[in-house]
Amino acid sequence: MRKHIHIGAAALNTTPKDWSGNTDMILAVIDEAKRRGLGLLCLPELVTTGYGCEDEFHAPYVSEWAMRILLEKIIPATREIAVTVGLPIRSHGATYNAIAVVVNAELLGFAVKQNLAGDGIHYEPRFFKAWPSGHVEHYDFDGGRCLIGDLVFEIDGLRVGFEICEDAWVAGRPGVELAQRAVDVILNPSASHFSFGKSRIRERFVQEGSRAFHCVYVYANLIGNEAGRAIYDGDCLIATQGAIVARTEPFQFQDYLLIDAVVDVEANRVNRNRQASYRPTFDSVERLSVSEWQVWTEAAFTKAVPMRTAYTQNEEFYRAVTLGLFDYMRKARTNGFAISLSGGADSAACLALVYLMAKTVLQENPQHPYVRQLLGDADTTTEALMRRICVCAYQGTINSSDTTEDAARVLAEETGAQFVSINVQALVDEYETILSGYLGRPLNWETDDISRQNIQARCRAPGIWAMANASNYLLLSTSNRSEAAVGYCTMDGDTAGSLSPVAGIDKTFLRQWLVWAEREHLPSLQIVNGLNPTAELRPLSADQTDEEDLMPYPILNRIQKLAVVQKKSPRAIFDCLQDEVEGASAEQTFAWLKRYFSLWSRNQWKRERYAPSFHVDDENLDPRSWCRYPILSGGYIDELAELEAFVFTLKGN
């Protein structure tokens, strides 16, 4: 009875060029799929090499190695199952992003990506060429020949086509053509990074693909922090007749996730048949078929589809970042994290995220091999894990307050992290003496403000670095996106570190997230949440605050969004702010804009030097993954001069 198929999708936590690690996971998930009785399994794109190999895709040996793994390890493991496996393929002197279709230990051919992802954090056109739609040819490999290109694969009468990740995000998606070629199944092997709310977009095109194209639509994504910056949520989906019938629970601390469903292929065929708009394509494309083994199943069971946890944005943030931190820690082969803990919001957020990482992994996968490697067999408490993986240091000067020290200590205690309080004033004095000797005069705050602030910030770097080195920890740099926009940080001071967990998110979000985290997880954040953000670098009597030095954070974030995301000119932003900000005079608005644009353009070099950060939305400022800006530029001098002249006219002069 050729009616139902048992089909699945898997998310894998791959690592670029971890040949044996990736292969072992692929073999394990194929094994599991066979045990569950699946006929067809879809794996993510470029799963053999890892998606994020960057310029290594130019190295001929990388595609050769992936091909060798496919032929020698993966194909022999696919007896009595059909599996799709992503790998780079060389042809016509170029590299293509391809999917091998392997059925019952036989290579049927390769489907190839037709729409490359080249926006945002994606650089695929740098590595790959797009395959021309409708084109098919022969591909010779060591020991064989098969077809490659825009193929429909016929497996035992089941017609299978592909949309490979970005293919499904474009207006002219290949699914339209595939539907006219009467495919029963569209497989979508993806590597689609997390950003806020993105899983709902995926759900929409998967559901809609299955409805409009009258097919079973199967979507497989990566899971985890693959290569450092992008985090994958592990979204896998199966839909038929416009409804989701299986999906993964996202953000899991697992090597792989597997979902499966038994679906009625015939029901889609009946629907297509009755559709007046269906116009079969009588194309000349060769079809491939195998018949020795049955892809069809006798089983016609349906399973209840588990509801996906509906995460709020605050939950999505911590789930993504904690998974990002955990994978970064283990893939960098380190033992944990060091944090210079000030009692302020940014470093507190970093510690809270490490704590939530420890708590979540212990709740959801206490036997994770890396956790066991760190803890041994005995301990399973969050506090025990935190003690093992995290050290925090408060580093006071004469400008530090008791309140911030208290905030830091109490928070560290609640998380279970190791805590030390150090006074770095003696170091500050030494460096002030050196500078004063060089200048030939005593220092004072009127003339030496920036130097004196920065000496303090820089005196905090060596100690915490030393603690990080002593335990093979990663030093977390605590900068947030609002500070990054205006370079409100001391290079080689508070920017010191190897990973910036919160540099992808703005201060306003972080502050409200900390209020949520206080309520849901860490009551001791109450002290932190009661403080006004301050660098505490000037004497306490100066009552320094970030917003006094800069501007209110909501204004800063708004300007940043209008300038960076919407690409508006200073003049256009001036008009927006005048409309939006009640009571702000033209002079005040101009002053904010002048400060923002002068600091933004002056400090691109700082953003270039930030430690790697995680991508969580399309307002990211990371120049290496998202937001390009020249290091040296005109500094908005002409734009601001013109705006200032305009503001002058408003005064009626």
Ligand X SMILES: NC(=O)CC[C@H](N)C(=O)O
Ligand Y SMILES: Nc1ncnc2c1ncn2[C@@H]1O[C@H](COP(=O)(O)OP(=O)(O)OP(=O)(O)O)[C@@H](O)[C@H]1O
Ligand Z SMILES: Nc1ncnc2c1ncn2[C@@H]1O[C@H](COP(=O)(O)OP(=O)(O)OC[C@H]2O[C@@H]([n+]3cccc(C(=O)O)c3)[C@H](O)[C@@H]2O)[C@@H](O)[C@H]1O
Footprint on this chain of ligand Y (rule: CB under 6 A): 340-342, 344-347, 394-396, 400, 404, 460, 478, 494, 533-536, 546
> Which listed range, 84-92, 248-256, 446-454, 500-508, lies at the site for ligand Z (CB under 6 A)?
446-454
The CB-nearest residue to ligand Y is 344
Binds ligand X by CB under 6 A, chosen from 191, 353, 358, 375: 191
Catalytic residues: 45, 113, 165
Tokens of 522: 């860490």
Please give the Cα distance from 164 to 151 (Å, whole number). 13
- The yes or no reply on residue 259 touching ligand X (CB under 6 A) is no
Choice from 123, 141, 169, 196 touching ligand X (CB under 6 A)? 169
Query: Please, which residues bridge with residue 10 across strands?
Result: 258
Q: Which of 192, 268, 347, 589 binds ligand X (CB under 6 A)?
A: 192
CA torsion angle for 269, 273, 274, 275 (degrees, to 10)? 100
Work out what residue 568 binds among ligand Z, ligand X, ligand Y, none; the CB cut-off runs from 5 to 8 Å by kind.
none
Q: Which of 165, 237, 475, 485 binds ligand X (CB under 6 A)?
A: 165
**Through-space distance between the first and last CA atoms of the chain, rounded to whole angstroms:** 87
User: Is 303 labelled as part of a ligand binding site?
Assistant: no
Tokens of 531: 């403080």
Please report how close the Cβ of residue 440 comes to ligand Z at its closest, in angstroms.
20
Distance CA 490, CA 457 (A): 6
Q: Does 464 bind ligand X (CB under 6 A)?
A: no
Q: 277 with 304: CB under 8 angstroms?
A: no
Question: 256 in helix, strand or coil?
Answer: strand
Is 548 known as a binding-site position? Answer: no
284 carries a ligand binding annotation: no
Q: Is 386:348 a contact under the CB 8 Å cutoff?
A: no
CA distance 529 to 517: 10
Spatial contact of 308 and 249, defined as CB atoms under 8 Å apart:
yes
Six-digit token string for 83 = 């599996």
- Cβ atoms within 10 A of the Cβ of 465, count? 17
| 478 annotated among ligand-binding-site residues | yes
Cβ neighbours, 10 Å, residue 285: 15
Residue 400 binds which one of ligand Z, ligand Y, ligand X, none, with CB within 5 to 8 A depending on kind? Answer: ligand Y
Verify binding: residue 304, ligand Z, rule CB under 6 A. Answer: no
454 near ligand Z, judged by CB under 6 A: yes
Residue nearer to ligand Y on the CB measure, 42 or 407? 407
Q: Between 116 and 262, whose beta carbon lies closer to ligand X?
A: 116
Geometric angle at alpha carbon 481, from 480 and 484, rounded to 5°: 95
Distance CA 26, CA 32 (A): 10
Q: 394 touches which of ligand X, ligand Z, ligand Y, none (CB within 5 to 8 A by kind)?
A: ligand Y
**Which span sits near ligand Z by CB under 6 A: 13-21, 301-309, 484-492, 642-650?**
484-492
| Residues forming a β-bridge with 618 | none
In the list ligand X, ligand Y, ligand Z, none, the entry touching 490 (Cβ below 5 to 8 angstroms by class) is ligand Z
> In angstroms, rounded to a whole number, what is the distance separating the alpha carbons of residues 224 and 251?
7
Shortest Å distance, C-beta 535 to ligand Y: 5
Report what 395 binds from ligand X, ligand Y, ligand Z, none; CB cut-off 5-8 Å by kind: ligand Y
Block residue for tokens 């709020």: 312
Q: Which residues contribute to the site for ligand Z (CB under 6 A)?
A: 450, 453-454, 457, 483, 487-491, 493-494, 535, 537, 546, 549, 602, 605, 631-632
Binding site, annotated residues for ATP: 478
Binding site, annotated residues: 192, 198, 454, 478, 483, 606
